[in-house]
Amino acid sequence: MNKRTFLKMLSSVAALPVLSPVLNWALGDKLKNWAGNVEYSTDRLYSADSLEQVREFVRKQANLKVLGTRHCFNQIADSTQYFLSLKAMDKVVAIDSTARTATIEAGITYGQLCPYLDSHGFALHNLASLPHISVAGACSTATHGSGDGNGNLSTAVSALEFITAAGDVAKLSREHDGQTFQGVVVGLGALGVITRLTLDIQPRYMMRQYVYENLPFSEVKEHFDTIMSSAYSVSLFTDWQKQRVNEVWLKSRIEEGHSSPEAPQDFFGAKPATKDLHPIAALSGENCTPQMGVPGPWYERLPHFRMGFTPSAGKELQSEYFVPRRHAVEAILATERLHEQVRPHLLISEIRSIAADNLWMSPCYGEPHVTIHFTWKPDWPSVKSLLPVIEKELEPFEVRPHWGKLFTITPANLQTSYQKSRDFIDLCRRYDPKGKFRNDFLNQNIFGVIS
Ligand SMILES: Cc1cc2nc3c(=O)[nH]c(=O)nc-3n(C[C@H](O)[C@H](O)[C@H](O)COP(=O)(O)OP(=O)(O)OC[C@H]3O[C@@H](n4cnc5c(N)ncnc54)[C@H](O)[C@@H]3O)c2cc1C
């Protein structure tokens, strides 16, 4: 941080006696996202630890964004004015074992929440590949795991509390607020500051995961539905080379009172791995959740990566595309045809399945989808010129990008691909008439304003 920015920050502290700025950045680098590919447009980061502090901060600022755990790869979280962190608001407020819900403060991460739920006898329906991310940030971008029967993580939200642009407290629930609630849950950070979320929970369960190597693409083509429904959560990792899926990750629930059948020695031609693997073959399986069929709690099997270890590669970029399930095989084969162009830039790809939901800005709105994900080497100029090639290939399959990852699909195409985008804009205007929570990403991709 240069001297000018630092002084500017101190003068804004004086104007805001209640909240304290997070000064870590004064000592080191500029404020960046987790991957380091986005340098945020301001380092004025404030931390709130109560509802009243959030309300006061929102009332005072003309423009701000909440920063979660900074795991998005694009500018969706960026601000040129102020950031607000709710990291200090990380408590579990209540567990209602009759209603089977947990109410949490919005700064909590899955890594903090899951062991707590488990120790109280409860679990969530699904998790992303990593537990390091904030629940509010993940739900705001429709973050997902895998599993034919599993909606994305935001489908677990049954109620939420957020602070509107006026500083008012809005409380909405699935039960009482129908369409409005469905519009707000995947809110892309555009509606206000989420301060609390209530999540559906269920009794804790145990799981085991098996990994298989070298699944021929011919089998994927012939048996896609059977393969993807063969476990509670299924991931196919491929480098698109040699007409095969490199690793199949099968995560199964161990139902009490039922003996688990032995894992077959052959899975559609793929063979069981002989040790714990990382999705990127060159990296150590130590960073990953235990495999080889070893039983463990749900929160240590659903994510691929372990808390306390670097998830994925660390030095990387990510893109991910959703296509309706009915186009899955064609879309996968179309991507495979690009294998020569993709190869030099790719670390690994992953194919997952997600159930349909009714959340307006969820890419899985209205029908089940599959995702084709790319973990890229950190070379944005090359990736940037490759993305339009992939997007063109996937265009016939009604492709939509992950809200938190890198894409080049035009705002016009993005907006028309969401049936409810007009209603979402109206909803944003209701809670934030002057665009207090908007940034360039939202102006371009949602509101259609190129600034
Ligand atoms: C290694 C790695 C693995 C990943 N794996 C997966 C995966 O398996 N599946 C998947 O779908 N995605 C995955 N992602 C993407 C990631 O889950 C999403 O980008 C998610 O949004 C990150 O949450 P965050 O808190 O870090 O968000 P941030 O980047 O901090 O913020 C994201 C958005 O949420 C908003 N926001 C955050 N908190 C609040 C709040 N309290 N109120 C209002 N708005 C808020 C921000 O303003 C911003 O618009 C992965 C990312 C990484 C880096």
- Ligand 1 lined by 250 (C-beta under 6 Å): no
Residue 75, helix vs strand vs coil = helix
Checking if the pLDDT of 58 tops 60, the result is yes
- Whole-number Å distance between alpha carbons of 126 and 201: 10
Q: Are strands 65-67 and 83-85 parallel, antiparallel or unpaired?
A: parallel
Residue 428, helix vs strand vs coil = helix
Q: Are strands 122-123 and 193-200 parallel, antiparallel or unpaired?
A: unpaired
- Whole-number Å distance between alpha carbons of 264 and 60: 61
- Ligand 1 lined by 436 (C-beta under 6 Å): no
pLDDT in tens, 369-417: 999 999 999 999 999 999 999 999 999 999 999 999 999 999 999 999 9
Q: Tell me the CA–centroid distance for residue 159 and ligand 1, in Å.
A: 19
- Ligand 1 lined by 109 (C-beta under 6 Å): no
Q: Which atom of ligand 1 is nearest to the CA of 403?
A: 19
Q: Is 271 left (phi over 0), alpha (psi -120 to 50) or beta?
A: beta
With residue 198 as reference, give the H or E element that holds it.
Answer: strand 193-200
Show the tokens assigned to 203: 């009794």
Pocket test of ligand 1: the residue of 66, 110, 299 to mutate, having most ligand atoms within 8 Å of its CB, is 66
Q: Could you tell me what percentage of the chain is helix, strand and coil, using 3-state DSSP and rounding each to the nearest 5?
A: 30, 25, 45
Q: Which atom of ligand 1 is nearest to the CA of 128?
A: 8
Q: Tell me the CA–centroid distance for residue 401 and ligand 1, in Å.
A: 14
**Average pLDDT, integer, range 344-364:** 98
Q: Tell me the CA–centroid distance for residue 379 and ligand 1, in Å.
A: 21
Residue type, 264: P
**Average pLDDT, integer, range 51-63:** 97
Q: Tell me the CA–centroid distance for residue 36 and ligand 1, in Å.
A: 14
Q: Tell me the CA–centroid distance for residue 142 and ligand 1, in Å.
A: 9
Checking if the pLDDT of 1 tops 90, the result is no
Checking if the pLDDT of 70 tops 50, the result is yes
Tokens 């909440």 belong to residue: 66
- Ligand 1 lined by 303 (C-beta under 6 Å): no
pTM for the predicted model, two decimal places: 0.94
Q: Are 182 and 148 in contact (CB under 8 A)?
A: no
- Ligand 1 lined by 138 (C-beta under 6 Å): yes
Pocket test of ligand 1: the residue of 38, 67, 85, 133 to mutate, having most ligand atoms within 8 Å of its CB, is 133
- Whole-number Å distance between alpha carbons of 8 and 74: 26
Q: How confident is the model at residue 22 (pLDDT cuts 50, 70, 90)?
A: low
Output the DSSP codes for 90-111: --EEEEETTTTEEEEETT-BHH
**Nearest residue by C-alpha to atom 37 in ligand 1:** 137
**Nearest residue by C-alpha to atom 32 in ligand 1:** 137
Residue 133, helix vs strand vs coil = coil
Q: Is 214 left (phi over 0), alpha (psi -120 to 50) or beta?
A: left
- Ligand 1 lined by 134 (C-beta under 6 Å): yes
Q: Can you give the pLDDT at residue 6?
A: 41
pLDDT in tens, 248-272: 999 999 987 776 667 899 999 999 9
pLDDT in tens, 81-96: 999 999 999 999 999 9
Cα dihedral 389/393/397/398 (nearest 10) = 20
Residue type, 112: Q
Q: Are 287 and 309 in contact (CB under 8 A)?
A: yes
Show the tokens assigned to 145: 């795991």
- Whole-number Å distance between alpha carbons of 279 and 55: 43
Q: Tell me the CA–centroid distance for residue 403 and ligand 1, in Å.
A: 9
- Whole-number Å distance between alpha carbons of 139 and 120: 23
Higher pLDDT, 451 or 139: 139
- Ligand 1 lined by 311 (C-beta under 6 Å): yes
Q: Are strands 317-324 and 400-401 parallel, antiparallel or unpaired?
A: antiparallel
- Whole-number Å distance between alpha carbons of 213 and 244: 9
144 Cβ contact partners less than 8 Å away, ≥ 6 residues apart: 126, 128, 150, 151, 152, 153, 352, 354, 364, 371
- Report, in angstroms and rounded to the nearest whole number, the Rg of the chain calculated over CA atoms: 22
Tokens 């006061």 belong to residue: 56
Checking if the pLDDT of 20 tops 90, the result is no
- Ligand 1 lined by 312 (C-beta under 6 Å): yes
Q: Are 144 and 124 in contact (CB under 8 A)?
A: no
- Ligand 1 lined by 420 (C-beta under 6 Å): no
What is the spatial order of strands in the sheet that 92-96 belongs to? 92-96, 101-105, 193-200, 157-163, 169-173
* Backbone torsions φ then ψ of 231, nearest 5 degrees: -155, 170
Residue 206, helix vs strand vs coil = strand
Show the tokens assigned to 439: 């940034």
pLDDT in tens, 410-422: 999 999 999 999 9
Give the angle 406-304-395 at the CA atoms, nearest 5°: 35
**Average pLDDT, integer, range 429-439:** 98
Tokens 């939200």 belong to residue: 157
Q: Tell me the CA–centroid distance for residue 354 and ligand 1, in Å.
A: 17
Q: Tell me the CA–centroid distance for residue 299 and ligand 1, in Å.
A: 18
